[in-house]
Structure 1
């Protein structure tokens, strides 16, 4: 690939869940709980400096690699992590994500903020935001089913 490009973007998604911040936080903090709504991690070490890593994709399709490092964790309040996303051997993006859990009447107000640089037109902020919205919807479905 001879054309190189970068596109910087920030998006924020907010969701309300009918569960306590502790319950919603737990859905991010435990490997089995998170695997119910996010691709199962090959490695999951939920602590500051810990790594979450998974590699996979559709049958017969390209392999995607998610490689995250937890930068800050405040129980039931905030998770900050940085991550790279690759397709095969090509870096698609580098992001910093903050997930905030606010107590509100009847549950939790979650604020998801992603600040990313999207590389060489391999992904777009719009596609990432769409996929993240679907992921947070799936989190809600899993929480409601429990």
Structure 2
């Protein structure tokens, strides 16, 4: 039997935003807005993207990884299911990532948008299971920190 390992990890990232919960929510729900901040500046070629933002809906991304990276030339697929959505308050997703068809992680991500005066406290909680060959918890956290910084800039604020 092949030796298999799973690393479990939970982390949380918070951002204090000047934007209203409705505006922050729209940055996740509106495909054009999400494309700008989610893929903007990425060196990897997006080959396919679809977003069906509703409970039970799916989001699917397929990227070809650029040369000069440890995963050069591989195809990365991220398949997401929206488990719960409360407009301007909460988004819960379950997602699986794979390289060339081989899964390397499965995660549950919760985005909470808490009204704070005229702004929003965004609380992102990530629970992950990382399989053999996975990027691991620290790289995943760094990736999400970078994505949330891009979201902050999309909203016209300083990261």
Give every structure 1 segment of 4 or more consecutive aligned residues whose post-TM-superposition deviation is greater than 2 Å.
57-61
Aligned equivalents of 1:15 and 1:87: distance in 2? 30
Structure 1: gaps of 5 or more residues: none
Instruction: Describe the SS at the equivalent of 1:42.
Output: strand
What TM-score, normalized by structure 2, do the two folds share? 0.85
Aligned equivalents of 2:133 and 2:63: distance in 1? 21
What TM-score, normalized by structure 1, do the two folds share? 0.93
1:1-146 pair list within 5 angstroms:
2-39=2-39, 42-60=49-67, 61=72, 62-144=74-156
Structure 2: gaps of 5 or more residues: 40-45
How far is the alpha carbon of 1:43 from its aligned partner?
A: 1.4
Query: What value does the CA root-mean-square deviation take over the aligned residues?
Result: 1.5
Report how many residues are paired. 144
Tell me which moved more, 132-141 or 40-49.
40-49
